[in-house]
Amino acid sequence: MKKQLLCLLLSAAYFVASQVVKGQDLIPVYQVDTLSTFDKLGPDFESVIYDGSIWKRRIGSLPAFGQIGRFIKGPDGSYYERQLQGLDAARINAAVPEDDFYKVNSIQELRTLSSDKIANVQNNIVKGVQVLGYYTTGDTPDPINYYLSDTTAAEDGGSVIVVNSSTKWVHDFNGIIDPAYFGAYNPNVGLTQALISKPNTTFVITDTLNLKGNVRTLPPTSNLLFHGGALKNGTIKNGFISIQSGNIIAEKNFKLYGSYAFLSNDVTINVVDYHDGGSYTVESNDTATIAIGQVAFYNADVTFRNCRIIKGIGAFKFLNDGESKKRTEVNFENCAIKQIDANINNSDDTWAIVIGTIPADKGSKNEEPHVKFTSRNTTFENIGLAVYEADSEISRCDFKAGTNNDDNRELLHLGGGGTRQISYVTDCVFDANGRAGDLLDTFNSSNKVIERCRFKGGIGKNYITIKSHINGSTGIDSDQIGAQGNIVVSNCLFEGHASRDFGAVAIYNDDRQLDTIPFPDVYKRHNVKVSGCTFKLAIPDSIENGNHSAAIALGSARFVSITNNTVLIPGMKRSVLVNLLYQASEDIIISGNMLRNEDATSTLSSKLIGVTIGAAGTLRNSIIDNNIVQQGFIFGDQRHWGNLTITNNSFTKMFNGTTDALAINCYRAGNKSAGVFSDNYGNTRPVAASVPPGFSYFDTTTGKLFRRMENGWVEVSGQ
């Protein structure tokens, strides 16, 4: 009878335990009254209650030590170990979870938790509730534990869940919040203002966060941290995307890691009234991409580091109003910036990126630059980058042309009429990508150094343009006084399809048709040096027609030094080192240059100095010495040459033609023509006072030889 009763008791215990475990995953409530019962428990009784404690079955022999009060022998091959001591009846009857937390699948289940379970939490029988997801299990990065609180804070959908006045669940995120814990990634919810209003908080964005067209205000003390996430369809203010006047965000407040962030096309970062500006740093890793539309920084220090930026419509501006005492800095470090949309061709959106001092970006002159621009190891693709009135250091950058560089949008535009700023462009690559467009323009600016760069040109345009601005046919713009030059181009490589009308390096005013309008010396491009460069240029066969590719173009230029450059002439092509555009260029030094045919069989003649577009370009008061033209002429065209010193050059022939009647008062000596040394010769006898006694002159028309004596020129034919 006792055996049957025991079997019934064990069966009932098994039934109760299995139902509890199966339905709630809780500890069974079967209670053993005596020690003798333990060795009769079946294998399903893994946990039991005895003497106010929970005991758990272990496989193996009963330990030989400390078994009193800790271990109890069970059926053969097993024993029971005490787990929890001192349990009261309330905790036993409540079926306590193993980790002291109820489990629910969503915030909605938390809101509808049964009253008896809430009571158990209130009575400290259970610690709290673990929520496995916001809408469903697993849709948050990790489960979150909630506790009951008497907080007076309002419901915010994540850190505070208000069921009623007496039931409020809270979780302390310790200053780091993923909006997923607030249900923000649901397209019907978006990012609530209640969430983003939290001060001293870092918001970790791990997914696409839809702002639902709203403007959300981020406290100045809070940051955005992206981990594979994105923002779209809206604006966040007081963070990176839109900074309001008077707010300063700490440096490095915006970081991207494997992310995609979208900055709205119609957002302007406006701190123009806050002259102390701010400091903003955007960082990411190589897998991150930032999409930027029309965004502007005023009077602020800005750094983009390790960023991949996709540029949309509208100008991306970094400006200083020129009135602030603060000198601001703009930095691109190890970035890649690509324009994907066409710019609107108006005064505000001509350039994809604008950096400089207001109002210099409108073409005016500001004597003192207020901006320092630095770009290192950065790629600009399909971008027109304009830098006005700013000290610049641009090094190891790649510029690649696209459709947004058409219509005279250079890859790099260094402008402004001031004289105190200085720019260094070193070790960069400028690639026209087969397009017809200028590559670099020093428009109305001074103090530029361009060194060790590679220029791969397009068709029919200049590679480097050094020019002064002309206001139509009415004269010179009054605000351009002082834009005189001080430009250095050295040790650069120029290759590709050069301009047949201008040159790879063009030094001129910007209206070549002003042949009859005097061009004052103060406006001429002064103090320009082109040295140590290599030009490997060719005009395409489709437009060759006997034209010469031009390395350097001069138009109304003065005090220009062209020294130690090499022109490599490919195949059956022609080149000219110095192309004279229009009006007179004066005080030019052309020295130590070489024009060499790569094809030794070529019989085509090139020119050291010539004219390619038929304009009345001339050269005066200049020195031409120690140049080599392997196949061709020193002067390729009949022009009004005057007051030139031409010495120690090697060439096939001095002039292209039978006469040099327009070469006036020129001194020629020590030149080697077709392998024969000669002194002066031509058909216009130089003024005797212009050459010293002892030099000779050969008249190509009469065949007579004259020698400069103490009393003037004396015919020495037949002697």
Q: Is the pLDDT of residue 265 over 50?
A: no
pLDDT at 639: 61
SS3 letters across 166-206: CEEEECCCCCEECHHHHCCCCCCCCCCHHHHCCCCCEEEEC
pLDDT band at residue 562 using 50, 70 and 90 as cut-offs:
very high
As a whole number of Å, the CA-based R_g of the chain is 42
Cβ of 586: how many Cβ atoms within 10 Å?
20
Check: CB of residue 621 under 8 Å from CB of residue 557: no
End-to-end alpha carbon distance in the chain: 158
Across 526-534, average pLDDT: 90
Weakest mean pLDDT among 244-258, 268-282, 622-636: 244-258
Cα 263 to Cα 236: distance, rounded to the nearest angstrom: 9
Across 394-403, average pLDDT: 93
CA 335 to chain CA centroid, nearest Å = 4
Task: Among 536-540, 572-576, 671-675, 691-695, name the most confident range.
Answer: 572-576
Task: Among 326-340, 512-526, 614-628, 691-705, name the most confident range.
Answer: 326-340
Q: Which amino acid is at 362?
A: K
Residue linked to tokens 């050291």 = 608
Q: Helix, strand, or coil here: 688?
A: helix
Better-scored residue on pLDDT, 553 or 465: 553
pLDDT at 685: 58
Q: How far is CA 285 from CA 87, 195, 288, 290, 333, in A?
A: 53, 27, 6, 11, 12
Q: Which amino acid is at 183?
A: G
Q: Is the pLDDT of residue 655 over 70?
A: yes
Across 77-83, average pLDDT: 83
3-state helix, strand, coil in the chain (%, to 5): 10, 40, 50
Sign of CA dihedral 470, 476, 477, 483: positive
Q: Which amino acid is at 97?
A: P
CA 123 to chain CA centroid, nearest Å = 59
Across 304-325, average pLDDT: 76
Q: What are the helix (H) ranges across 28-78? A: none
Phi-psi region for residue 362, left (φ > 0), alpha (ψ -120 to 50) or beta? alpha
Weakest mean pLDDT among 436-450, 624-638, 702-716: 702-716
Across 607-631, average pLDDT: 83
> What are the sequence ranges of the domains in the chain?
2-93, 101-172, 312-444, 459-649
Across 604-613, average pLDDT: 82
Cα 383 to Cα 434: distance, rounded to the nearest angstrom: 15
Better-scored residue on pLDDT, 241 or 358: 358
Cβ of 116: how many Cβ atoms within 10 Å?
8
pLDDT at 566: 97
Tens digit of pLDDT for each residue in 479-505?
443 445 788 999 999 988 756 667 888
Tens digit of pLDDT for each residue in 8-51?
333 333 333 333 333 344 444 577 878 888 888 888 888 888 87
pLDDT at 563: 98
pLDDT at 239: 42
Weakest mean pLDDT among 180-189, 243-252, 528-537: 243-252
Question: How many Cα atoms are found within 13 Å in the side-chain-facing hemisphere of 206?
Answer: 14
Show the CA angle centred on residue 538, arms to residues 537 and 542, nearest 5°. Answer: 160
Percent of the chain with pLDDT over 70: 64
Q: Which amino acid is at 549?
A: S
Residue 579's DSSP bridge partners are 553, 610
Contacts of 283 (CB under 8 A, 6+ apart): 252, 254, 255, 256, 305, 306, 307
Percent of the chain with pLDDT over 90: 18
Better-scored residue on pLDDT, 453 or 572: 453
Across 271-281, average pLDDT: 45
pLDDT at 675: 66
Across 82-102, average pLDDT: 61
| Cβ density class 529-561: b for 16+ within 10 Å, e for less | bbbbbbbbbbbeeeeeeeebbbbbbbbbbbbbb
pLDDT averaged over every residue in the chain: 74
Cα 502 to Cα 651: distance, rounded to the nearest angstrom: 23
Check: CB of residue 491 under 8 Å from CB of residue 452: yes
Q: Is the pLDDT of residue 525 over 70?
A: no
pLDDT band at residue 319 using 50, 70 and 90 as cut-offs:
confident
